Amino acid sequence: MTSSPPPSSPTPALLRAVAVGVLTAVLAVMAGRPELLVLGLPLLAWAVLAVVRRLARGGADGTDLASVRVRSTERSIAEGGTVRIVVDTPDASQASTSGSSGSLLGVTVPLPAHAALTPPRGSRADAGSVPLTVTARRWGRYEIGPIHVALSDPLGAYRTQTRLDPVMLRVTPDSSLLEAPPNLPAPIGVAGVHLSARRGQGTALADVRPFQRGDRLHRINWRVTSRTGTLHTNATFAERDTDVLVVADTLQDVVAPGLEATAETSLDLTVRAIAAVSRHYLGIGDRVGLYDLGSRIGTLRAGTGPRQLRIIVDTLARAHRTSGPVTRVQKVGALRGSTLVVVCSPLLDDRVVAQIGELRARGADVIVVDTLPPSVGDLFSPPGAGAGRDPQRFWSEAWALRRLLRESTVRALREQGVPVTLWEGPGSLAPVLLSLSRAASAPRMRRA
């Protein structure tokens, strides 16, 4: 990104030097005091040198100062990452190699929300090049700027100002590797990494049996064959994949009252949970899709591989954080049987709870990830948590009561066989998935 500054103008220092130099020269002539020229001649010499230097650089029309450019090391970083932005002039590198001083730059950048900026106050000046370091604390799309630049020549005699367009930075959510077992309770595909109960082509040993017509020769177990004297072959379990549908409840973005600028919101936890779940199951070859009950993230068709992961992460980074509550629920459409459905929701809307029950009735294995921030409804919040609120409105107490009422919803879901787990990082889903796998393999009572 390059920008040419408007025509430069003399600085007050140049005007003062010319005025003082001319005034001392006139006084020296009128008063017959040649020693006064010692005071004015250095200032006049500096002013003449500045004008000559400007004309020599082609600045007769007032455009002697070089253009300004912005260089960014990266345009997409992960949550918590750092990007370096450099504002400089094209002759900055030449000035540094030749040892001469280049143009003087003064840069001022508005402090972006949810990000740390170095220099801390967003203002810095240097010769020829000004580096800026931005550390993104939350996912989303950042606008670093607009960048206000003050540019002057090396002597400080002429200066100009310009404004550069913001630098767009995309911060993807933290997709930590999920600590979860690879096996799912009900694999439904024909090829994958999950073991099914059916024997077939695979790598996991199921049994060693006598050789039959049609068995592949490379599966002959020569050790058992040599010991028994008859041909034996290895029987394996079929390896299958499954569909994973991640359902996002983005009807509202909940945050603790008074902590909007610092605390994590329910949308933050939802986005991070979706990224971790998608990365885990796409990494082991499953098909992962995304469905948004609201309209902050969007819906994606199921896909596999690294490309699907990039699409999901890019979609999450473009989620609308500032939009208001969504009133209409977009219900999940057709669903394959035995699909693993991971619902990320703060469980504050009865319509979402009804949708979870409908998915369970369709035969899907449903897991609910509770994304209500722990700070919401915490009566032991730090002092100042309700700053800026009306003291007559008991926000913390109201949220505490709402959290207690929500516990009945969580208890009802668990009684219906829907596990609910609080999102606390990559290890949140491991106990739930292990219990589902054990329940699927447990013996069942059969009706006569």
- The predicted pLDDT at position 200 comes to 47
Are the C-beta atoms of 239 and 194 separated by less than 8 Å? yes
Residue 62 confidence (pLDDT):
47
Strand 104-108 and strand 123-127: the pairing is: antiparallel
Q: Whole-prediction pTM value? A: 0.69
Could you tell me whether strands 194-199 and 140-144 are parallel, antiparallel, or unpaired per DSSP bridges? Answer: unpaired
Domain 68-172 is classified in which CATH homologous superfamily?
Immunoglobulins (2.60.40.10)
**73 Cβ contact partners less than 8 Å away, ≥ 6 residues apart:** 83, 84, 85
C-alpha span between 129 and 97 (Å, rounded): 13
Report pLDDT for 202: 52
Task: Give 379's DSSP letter.
Answer: T
155 Cα distance to chain centroid: 43
Beta bridge partners of 88: 69, 129
- Rounded-to-integer distance, Cα 166 and Cα 146, Å: 4
Spatial contact of 44 and 24, defined as CB atoms under 8 Å apart = no
Rounded to an integer, what is the distance from CA 6 to the centroid of its chain?
36
pLDDT at residue 221 in the model:
85
Please tell me the predicted confidence (pLDDT) of residue 333. Answer: 81
Give 10-residue mean pLDDT values along the chain (448 residues): 68 86 85 80 85 72 62 83 84 50 76 84 82 87 86 81 85 73 50 45 66 78 86 69 85 77 83 89 85 89 89 89 74 79 90 90 87 73 46 64 85 88 80 65 49
- Rounded to whole angstroms, how far apart are CA atoms 433 and 290? 19
**DSSP 8-state code for residue 421:** E
**Rounded Cα gap, residues 78 and 140, in angstroms:** 10
CA distances from 68 to 8, 145, 394 (A): 13, 15, 52
Domain range annotation of the chain: 7-56, 68-172, 194-240, 243-380+390-441
Residue linked to tokens 């077939």:
200
Q: Which pLDDT score, from 0 to 100, does residue 312 have?
A: 92
Q: In what order do the strands lie in the sheet with 243-248?
A: 300-303, 287-292, 243-248, 340-345, 365-370, 420-422
Fold entry, domain 243-380+390-441: Rossmann fold (3.40.50)
Q: In angstroms, rounded to a whole number, what is the distance separating the alpha carbons of residues 320 and 230?
A: 67
Residue 12 burial (C-beta neighbours within 10 Å; 0-12, 13-18, 19+): exposed
Smallest CA-to-CA distance from 342 within 329, 327, 328, 332 is with 332
For the packed helices 12-31 and 37-56, what is the interaxial angle rounded to 10 degrees? 140
pLDDT for the residue numbered 206: 62
The single-letter DSSP state of residue 217 is G
Which pLDDT belongs to residue 2?
Answer: 61
